[in-house]
Amino acid sequence: MKKIKNIYLIGIGGSGMSGIAEILLNSGYKVSGSDNASSLVTSRLQNLGIKVFDNHDSENLKKIDLIVYSSAISEDNPEMIHGKKMGIPIIRRAEMLANLMTLKNSIAIAGSHGKTTTTCILAHIFTKCNLDPTYIIGGKIKSFESNAALGKGPHILAEADESDGSFLLLRPNNLIITSIDNDHLETYDGDFKKLKEAFKEFAMNVPFQGKIVCYGDNKELEKLIQKVPRNFISYGFKKTNDFQITDLAQSLEGCKFSLINNLDNSNFKFFVPLHGEHNVLNVVASIIMSIEEGIKMKDISEALLTCKTVERRFEVISNNIFNKGITLVDDYGHHPKEISITLETVDKIWKNNKKIVIFQPHRYTRTKALFEEFVEILSKIDDLILLDVYPASEKILKGYESKDLYKAANKRNNIIKAEGVEDALEKLKKLVSDHSLILTQGAGNTSALAKLISEYQ
């Protein structure tokens, strides 16, 4: 049998793919790959010794034993076509992740919202508590150099992505499910029921002796607990949960809260330098899984004190934008529910500040599927700058562009339409006053806008 030595990743610059590339490299494989867009991620991979091509070309595939491709890569990609022609084995990113997860005690983190942040927090706790985990994360926490690491400890922590249905390939020993919501429905024929069935099937992939930690206040997860014969541990704000969050208080410094273990009536207090009720839920999911893996509560509490913000997940960029004491927060959320939660957090922490939101919708299919929900939430924002839809390789869907959101939401409120990030900056400068709060919101290139704002002199 031919031994696999040289592995090629198509779309290597993606958040999930780059992590796998780094793990494979550190496991002794020769790794190369391609991506159309150069980035800090591809530069880092090159510095590690990985050959990264800035185009997709059949000439790149020389002496390759295995091809791994991301969900963003289409069948007509020239490297895919050439690989098939040459008889090179080709697998999806999730198949490679599934193989890696069999090597250690695996913990998968799934959910419509919060899985990246939860994986980062869990990896931080395990690392600080000297468990030296292997982890593959779709985002980057500031306390780590990279979004992936090959640890010597017994655990591997990884996000499980429902967006393309590939999480069904995973067979984790234990699982966290943060939420189930009506997102990424294009993969499920626009049918929320099919998405819920996929989560049910994924939960069944966990062995009987495994544990599933889940957000018990989510109505879809409440139903899942009743239907799936597995060991569930629930958390949330309701008394009916196994772990109940109480006495939550938020400030500029972060969040403090109590966590009641209703299974044994114990009560513990925590502080974490992160903002928002949603982040407290992500922290609690991580606390419970850490307890289940034998980490002491005192060590968990100490680890959380140094847990830093995940990039683009309610990240406070600066408190002195334009040298006027203006705060800039950058957030990745692009689902109406995520936007709503972010706005609630901003209102609680900066209740007396003028708030300006710059939002970029992500994907035409999502805009179409959740059009009325977007209109509802956007029409409640007093000062809103709206960018064009970030297509993410999708074709324009007539009737579901930013101009259509603008027209529908502007009937109820005053919204400003911007043509690109530079135009958004110019319009922003006319809106801000001293000690305003600026929120850049979305999964497209709003991070580039946040950088532009923070560097403006």
pLDDT for 185-213, tens place per residue?
A: 788 888 889 999 999 999 999 999 999 99
Among 149-163, 288-302, 310-324, 401-415, the range with the most confident prediction by mean pLDDT is 288-302
Mean pLDDT of 40-66: 92
Tell me, what amino acid is at 19?
G
Q: How confident is the model at residue 145 (pLDDT cuts 50, 70, 90)?
A: low
CB count in 10 Å sphere of residue 369: 19
Mean pLDDT of 334-357: 88
pLDDT(103) > 50: yes
What pLDDT sits at residue 324?
A: 85
Q: How confident is the model at residue 183 (pLDDT cuts 50, 70, 90)?
A: confident
Integer distance in angstroms from the first to the last C-alpha of the chain?
61
The model carries a pTM of: 0.85
For the chain, give the mean pLDDT: 90
Q: How confident is the model at residue 143 (pLDDT cuts 50, 70, 90)?
A: low
What pLDDT sits at residue 309?
A: 66
More confident residue, 333 or 216: 216
CB count in 10 Å sphere of residue 19: 25
Q: Tell me: the pLDDT tens digits for 242-291?
A: 999 999 999 989 999 999 999 999 999 999 999 889 999 999 999 999 99
Helix, strand, or coil (residue 241): coil
Residues paired with residue 7 on neighbouring β-strands, in sequence order:
31, 66
What pLDDT sits at residue 139?
A: 65
Q: Is 159 designated active site?
A: yes
The residue assigned the tokens 């529908």 is 408
CB count in 10 Å sphere of residue 387: 24
C-alpha 426, offset from chain centre: 30
Residues paired with residue 267 on neighbouring β-strands, in sequence order:
260
Q: Is 115 designated active site?
A: yes
Count Cβ neighbours within 10 Å for each residue of 97-121 and write b for 16 or more, e otherwise. bbebbeebbbbbbbbbbbbbbbbbb
Q: Is 63 designated active site?
A: no
The residue assigned the tokens 């595939």 is 61
Tell me, what amino acid is at 33?
G
CB 63 within 8 Å of CB 136 = no
Catalytic-labelled residue, pool 22, 79, 159, 338: 159
What pLDDT sits at residue 1?
A: 39
Q: In whole angstroms, how far apart are CA 150 and each of 13, 290, 354? A: 18, 19, 45
What pLDDT sits at residue 142?
A: 59
Count Cβ neighbours within 10 Å for each residue of 201-212 and write b for 16 or more, e otherwise. ebbebbeeebbb
Q: How confident is the model at residue 455 (pLDDT cuts 50, 70, 90)?
A: confident
Q: Tell me: the pLDDT tens digits for 126-136?
A: 999 999 999 98
CB 280 within 8 Å of CB 255 = yes
Q: What is the DSSP track for 173-225?
A: SEEEE----S-SGGGGTT-HHHHHHHHHHHHHTS-TTSEEEEETTSHHHHHHH
The residue assigned the tokens 């309610």 is 314
Task: Catalogue all structural domains in the chain, each as residue range(s) with its CATH number.
Answer: 6-92 (3.40.50.720), 102-304 (3.40.1190.10), 315-455 (3.90.190.20)
Percent residues over pLDDT 70 in the chain: 97
CB 93 within 8 Å of CB 74 = no
Catalytic-labelled residue, pool 42, 116, 345, 367: 116
